[in-house]
């Protein structure tokens, strides 16, 4: 199953077509937002996995507003569009935007004067040969930046996007997994440190001999 979410050619084309329609009606174009792109990818993926074309999702625990709230995006004006179509019915940006334009409630969302930001996600499911689309558009909001604790784990955000891999924050480097969660490893040259939830352990890597060393509190010992 192909998970897109944000800046694929087809999704960018859909946003461009929506902005063309807004400008044709005297409205300002919408700003592409990385956080909204990510959330629409999650929504489209959820619909594809569940083979459901509904705003409400039992796995998400609600509609797209729940996704916004989880990101700390509250007290904003928001509108949501979805579309699902088998085969080639909704396999291009032009087709999905036309479908929304030809549906009065969806068209009203596209031309809503209160929205300023937009994200679009599209997922194709080969299991049922269906394209799933999600659009989230909102008024302005402050994107997350810095450390945020979610579900007992720590994430580091830059402009609303959770970072992954080794990320430098001040003098320290933190290792974040592919979901953005801190692995509890950090690095400050020349030592690596690991936190197990209670205590810190310190390691040193001898690159010349390709050997890890562990500080046991009194001396360096080889790490197995």
Task: Walk along the chain (224 residues) and give the pLDDT tens digit of each residue.
Answer: 444 444 678 999 999 999 999 999 999 999 999 899 999 999 999 999 999 999 999 999 999 999 999 888 988 999 999 999 998 999 999 999 999 999 999 999 999 999 999 999 999 999 999 999 999 999 999 878 899 888 889 999 888 788 999 999 999 999 999 989 999 999 999 999 999 999 999 999 999 999 999 999 999 999 86
Half-sphere exposure of 139 (CA within 13 A, CB side): 6
Q: What pLDDT is stored for residue 7 in this prediction?
A: 60
Per residue in 44-67, pLDDT tens? 999 999 999 999 999 999 999 999
80 vs 88: CA distance, rounded Å: 23
133 vs 86: CA distance, rounded Å: 12
Stated pTM of the model: 0.73
Sign of the alpha-carbon torsion through 27, 122, 140, 164: negative
């Amino acid at each position: 199953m192909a998970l897109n979410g944000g800046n694929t050619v087809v999704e960018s084309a859909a946003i461009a077509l929506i902005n063309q329609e807004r400008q044709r009606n005297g409205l300002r174009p919408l700003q592409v937002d990385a956080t909204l792109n990510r959330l629409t990818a999650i929504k489209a993926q959820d619909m594809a996995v569940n083979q459901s074309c509904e705003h409400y999702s039992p796995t998400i625990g609600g509609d797209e507003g729940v996704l916004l709230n989880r990101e700390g995006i509250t007290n904003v004006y928001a509108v949501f569009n979805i579309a699902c179509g088998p085969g080639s019915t909704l396999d291009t940006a032009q087709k999905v935007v036309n479908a929304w334009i030809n549906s009065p409630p969806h068209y009203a969302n596209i031309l809503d004067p209160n929205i300023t930001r937009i994200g679009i996600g599209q997922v194709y499911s080969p299991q049922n040969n269906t394209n799933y689309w999600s659009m989230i558009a909102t008024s302005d909001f402050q994107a997350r930046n810095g450390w945020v604790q979610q579900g007992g784990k720590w994430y580091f955000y830059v402009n609303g996007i959770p970072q992954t891999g080794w990320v430098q924050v001040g003098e320290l480097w933190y290792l974040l997994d592919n979901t953005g969660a801190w692995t509890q490893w950090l690095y400050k040259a020349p030592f690596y440190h690991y936190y197990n939830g209670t205590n810190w352990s310190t390691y040193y890597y001898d690159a010349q001999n390709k050997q890890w060393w562990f500080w046991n509190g009194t001396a360096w010992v080889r790490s197995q």
